[in-house]
Structure 1
Amino acid sequence: MEDQNPLANNTRDTECTRIPITEDEVEDHHQYFDGRQIHRVPQVMRFKKHNEEDLYAPKIVSIGPYYHGLPELGMAEELKHKVLTDFVSCSGKDREFFYCQIFKVIDQIRNCYVGVSRDAYDDGELAEIMLLDASFAIYLMKVFVSDKEKYDHFCQHLGMALLTFAFQDMLLLENQIPLCVIKLLTKLIYGKREEGHMLICDFISNATFGVSRLKIIPGEDRRQPLHLLDATHRIFVKELDNTGEELVEELDNAGEERVEELDNTGEELVEDSVNAEKRPVSKCLWWPWRKQNQNEFENYNRQFRSVTDLKAKGIHFKPSSYCLKNIKFKSYKFYGQLELPVWLFTINSKPYFTQMIAYEASPESNADSIIICYVNFLKSLIIKPEDVKELREKKILFSTLDSDEQIVKLIKQIDNYGLEDDWIFYDVKKGIEKHCSSKAKTWFAELINTHFRSPWTLIALFAATFLLCLTFLQTYYTMNLPK
């Protein structure tokens, strides 16, 4: 009876609507259902070039209504029903109970999607999709956090080769269900909210860092993530400590400083514009303007130096943290130091960046385009394998790929769709350019790079200096000794 279609009984929806929602549930749901939506990827972004694959469509499993029922995803659909049957039997409750809990908030769930009308899926069908997909999402999380039993079960039904694709499908922008639904089911099956919450944290932590270190999803105490991709995105854009907790105080202070800086800059710009109005108009508009304002072109110059070029200018590299916006530069008397975030490149890195760029570009994301800025900054830094090698040696980049050439190729393949934002790192790039423009610093860097880059060049320099001194002394005594 568990596999029976829940919509076969027409009174089922009516019975579910009679279950009242408690005040605690209303407040809890309001943290998730606050008007945000799971948007579709714009058609211009998913346009296939030269028969390239669609990076936004699932390959193995559909999660949510956007791709539900596609014939090519039929293998996973069969497994979904088996997983749900096991899910219900192990919980000690019947399927009707879980269905009705989801049906309570079916209107809010529908509002999370764009264009999913009741003509496509009525309330009962949509609730059934949520129940089926949320239980399968929990199942996949257990597979990815090294649950041996679930891992063997997946490999038995779909094969180990499809595991990577299933993982990528879980983090597609259009292949999401509200995280509230997943948390609701984990709470019901585990009985304790913490256990279900830790399963989600362990999954996101393993997907991000390769280890279980998160205790809480960043920002969860202020605004709940809408879905798994949103939760994963927060890991990369928030500064975390060693336990995975957000450094809220440090970020708030940085935010206040940024606001003050922007305010002061705004005042200066207004002042300049007022002074500009008082200046006399030149008879020749182009030439004086070009001479007086030629430095303003620097604001539009997006060309940047690669890692090897910066190294030749005396700039050293140092790892900062896992937060992708934690890029800092400091110029010293004879050298500069650029701190870059740590990143592990895998076969999933390209899908990761692709989905997060699409997420940041979607309406209502409020994500500040941090990933877009980081990708653009990375593209300017890494243009050849030598750049990757330098960052690997500095423990900034790690990789499971076979060669540095593959990393360069992967970075070039990440499409930013013309979104060339880099405003977050504007001050960093400006400081680097100022450092590289200093002749004294660059000359000293070239001296170090040419004559002190290895012990052998250093020995050769000392030997040449020693021979020069001997030649000078020989010449001196030859000319001054009495004959």
Structure 2
Amino acid sequence: MINQAYSNGKFQFLNIMDIECKIPITKDEDEDHHQYFDGRRIHRVPKLVRFSKHNEEDYYAPKLVSFGPYYHGLPELGAAEEFKHKVLTMFVPSGGKDKQFFYCQIFKVIDQLRNCYVGVSREAYDDGALAEMMLLDACFAVYLMKIAVGDEEKIIHFCQHLGLSVIKFAFIDMYLLENQIPLWVIKHLINLIYGEGSMLLCNFFSSMILENTRLTRIPGEDKKQPLHILDAYHRLLVEEWDKAGKILVQPVNKCQWRPLKKENQKEFGKFSRQSRSVTDLKAKGIHFKPSSCCLMNISFKSYTFYGQVQLPVWLFTSISKLFFINMIAYEASPKSDTGIPIICYVNLLKSLIVKPEDVKELREKKILFSTLVSDEQVVEVIKEIDTCGLDDYYIFDNVKMRIEEHCNNKAKTWIAELIHTNFRNPWTFITLLAATFLLCLTFLQTYYTLNPK
């Protein structure tokens, strides 16, 4: 049984397991808890994906804190593991009876918790050790959520024990695919601590959205609640929600793998869209405008002499590559029911942004924002995000097709191409004006020479 914490360079046994769970589990409670596990599991990332050509470092392993059994007990995560006990004390009164109550609430659903993971045997973690781990991890997740929504007491507490310099890594570790715990466990613990009416989860998810939107429901809660925090964030990005949790932008269709039959080979040509960068499209008279923070909210309108593409707003930071890599791994996980919309969005970015000038154009249009040093770094980040060769040609196909039709229409693009070719800088424009002026003077001089008064 692995039931240890790393402290002062040595492993020490914990004390929660000393609490014996004596609270009886009634038949009704057992039936209620059975609803939590719906068959979805938190999978490990395949080795071939983990260390691809762009992944020289492991983007799936936590740097500060572990959530769940996959990275539990690593010595380099020992400081945060020890700190979890202090966090538990903040939320749960120090009396043994209260700790027993919270521990037993987790213990009641331990079989369902174990089923959420792959390869977590009782030899590695018996029921007691796994229940203890989940209680500490869920409590720490609630603690970080309180920090995210601006709880000053929790922020000061974190800085006093682990330091302000590492707080970023704690939140990064919350979004790693292999470093997740079921969201229903966190929700259950929040209800036990704050009551059924707590808005902590909604406030936390609202803080993850760039737009000033305050959710009153967890996205998709009425259908199938998110498996974990990464899944919830995925839903926030690919489906646009109002405050009541209602979808404003419909999700894209799931990826459908269809073999190319001989009788359908003529249709394959319609998916062969020419990749055009932002600057190439601008030369064709296509302008860009921000849509929303939903990554699927992409549209195109063609007018008489110009076109307009609406693209979602995105902020590139030092962790954007790590985030996209984990999101892509989640979409590509076994038995995933998410489709591959994030993968398709990244593929679209790769076609639109190939040089710093493309980034500059989207920055000026308030579509891309960045905390990176230069536009060149944004280009490199996008190039290094590996989509594993996956794509769904049906997603965004209507937009790509209409853009291609606009670009191939000479009547709609000739003015834009003329302006782009001849007026790329003010000096060219001034030169053309000067030449036109001289031409007019020459014409007038010739006219009056031939027609004197």
With structure 2 as the length reference, what TM-score do the two structures score?
A: 0.87
Number of residue pairs the alignment of both structures matches? 438
The SS at the match of 1:339 is strand
Contact 1:7–1:125 (Cα < 8 Å) also in 2: yes
2:317 alignment partner, one of 342, 346, 352 = 346
**1:171 CA drift (Å):** 0.8
Corresponding residue to 2:358 among 380, 387, 399: 387
Please tell me whether the aligned partners of residues 177 and 230 of structure 2 are also in contact (alpha carbons under 8 angstroms): yes
| TM superposition shift of 1:44 | 0.8
Change (3 A) 1:378 1:49: closer
1:20 matched to 2:26? The reply is: yes
Assess if the C-alpha contact under 8 Å between 1:376 and 1:421 holds in 2: no
**CA shift at 1:179, angstroms?**
0.7
Q: Which residue of the partner structure matches residue 210 of structure 2?
A: 209
Partner of 1:88: 92
2:197 is aligned, of 194, 204, 220, to: 194
Q: State the distance in 2 between where 1:74 and 1:209 align.
A: 33
Residue by residue, what CA displacement relative to the aligned partner does 1:345-366 show, whole Å, maximum 9, x if unpaired?
A: 1122112111110110002221
What residue number does 2:51 align with? Answer: 47
SS at structure 1 position matched to 2:309? strand
Q: Distance in 1 between matches of 2:18 and 2:245?
A: 47
* Equivalent residue for 1:402, pick from 356, 361, 373: 373
Q: Contact between 1:91 and 1:189, CA under 8 Å: does it hold in 2?
A: no
Counterpart check, 1:148 vs 2:145: no
The residue identity in structure 2 corresponding to 1:189 is: I
Whole-Å Cα distance in 1 between the matches of residues 70 and 211 of structure 2? Answer: 30
**1:431 corresponds to:** 402
Equivalent residues of 2:211, 2:293 under 8 A apart:
no
Range that drifts further, 99-108 or 85-94: 85-94
Distance 1:431 1:91 in 2: 66
1:86 shift after superposition: 2.2
Other structure's SS at 1:89 match: coil
Structure-2 separation of matches of 1:147 and 1:91: 25
Give the whole-Å Cα distance in 1 for the aligned partners of 2:33 and 2:152.
33
Output the CA distance in 1 between the equivalents of 2:42 and 2:376: 36
Query: Which residue of 1 is the match for residue 15 of structure 2?
Result: 5
1:156-200 residue CA offsets vs partner (Å, 9 max, x unmatched):
211112111111111111111111111111111112x232xx222
> Quick one: which amino acid aligns to residue 336 of structure 1?
G
**3-state SS in 2 of match to 1:444:** helix
Q: Does 1:160 align with 2:172?
A: no
Change (3 A) 1:95 1:307: same
- 1:35 and 2:18 correspond: no
SS of equivalent residue, structure 1 residue 474: helix
What is the aligned partner in structure 2 of residue 299 from structure 1? 271
Instruction: Give the match's secondary structure for 2:443.
Output: helix
The SS at the match of 2:67 is coil
When residues 130 and 465 of structure 1 are mapped into structure 2, their CA distance, relative to the original with a 3 A threshold, is same
Structure 1: state its 5+ residue gaps.
263-268, 277-288
3-state SS of paired residue (1:66): coil
The whole-number CA distance in structure 2 between the counterparts of 1:456 and 1:322 is 38
Q: Are residue 448 (structure 1) and residue 448 (structure 2) matched?
A: no
1:28 is displaced (CA, Å) by 7.3
- The equivalent of 1:251 in structure 2 is 250
Asked whether the 8 Å contact 2:220–2:245 carries over to 1, the reply is: no
Match of 1:177 among 160, 177, 181: 181
Q: Any conservation in 1 of the 2:291–2:298 contact (CA below 8 Å)? A: yes
Instruction: Measure how far apart 1:334 and its partner are.
Output: 0.9
Partner residue, 2:328: 357
- Paired position in structure 1 for 2:5: none
Structure 2 residue aligned with 1:414: 385
Asked if structure 2 preserves the Cα contact closer than 8 Å seen for 1:373 and 1:423, the reply is: no
Cα distance change of structure 1 residues 201 and 29 upon mapping to structure 2, 3 Å threshold = farther
Give the TM-score normalised by structure 1.
Answer: 0.82
- Secondary structure of the 1:149 match is helix
Residues 309-324 of structure 1 correspond to what in structure 2 (within 5 A)? 309-324=280-295
For residues 105-142 of structure 1, what are the alpha-carbon distances to aligned partners after superposition, in whole Å with 9 as ceiling and x for unaligned? 11111111111111211111111111011011111112
CA spacing shift, 1:332–1:394, aligned 2, 3 Å: same
RMSD over equivalenced CA pairs, Å: 3.1
Against the structure 1 CA distance between its residues 136 and 154, is the aligned structure 2 distance closer, same or farther, given a 3 Å change threshold?
A: same
CA change 1:234–1:81 in 2 (3 A) is same
1:247 to 1:194, Cα distance in 2 relative to 1, 3 A: same
**2:224 corresponds to:** 223
User: Does the residue aligned with 2:47 lie in a helix, a strand or coil?
Assistant: coil
- Given that residues 202 and 212 in structure 1 are in contact (C-alpha distance below 8 angstroms), is that contact kept between their aligned partners in structure 2? no
Separation (CA, whole Å) in 1 of partners of 2:204 and 2:71: 23
Q: Is the 8 A contact 1:374 1:422 kept in 2?
A: no
In the TM superposition, residue 477 of structure 1 has moved relative to its aligned partner by 3.5
Q: Which structure 2 segments of 5+ residues have no match? A: 1-12
CA contact (8 A) 1:343 1:397 kept: yes
Query: Where does residue 130 of structure 1 map in the other structure?
Result: 134
| Aligned partner of residue 220 in structure 1, secondary structure | coil
User: Does the C-alpha gap of structure 1 residues 124 and 53 become closer, same or farther in structure 2, counting only changes over 3 Å?
Assistant: same
Percent identical: 65
Letter in 1 for 2:25: I
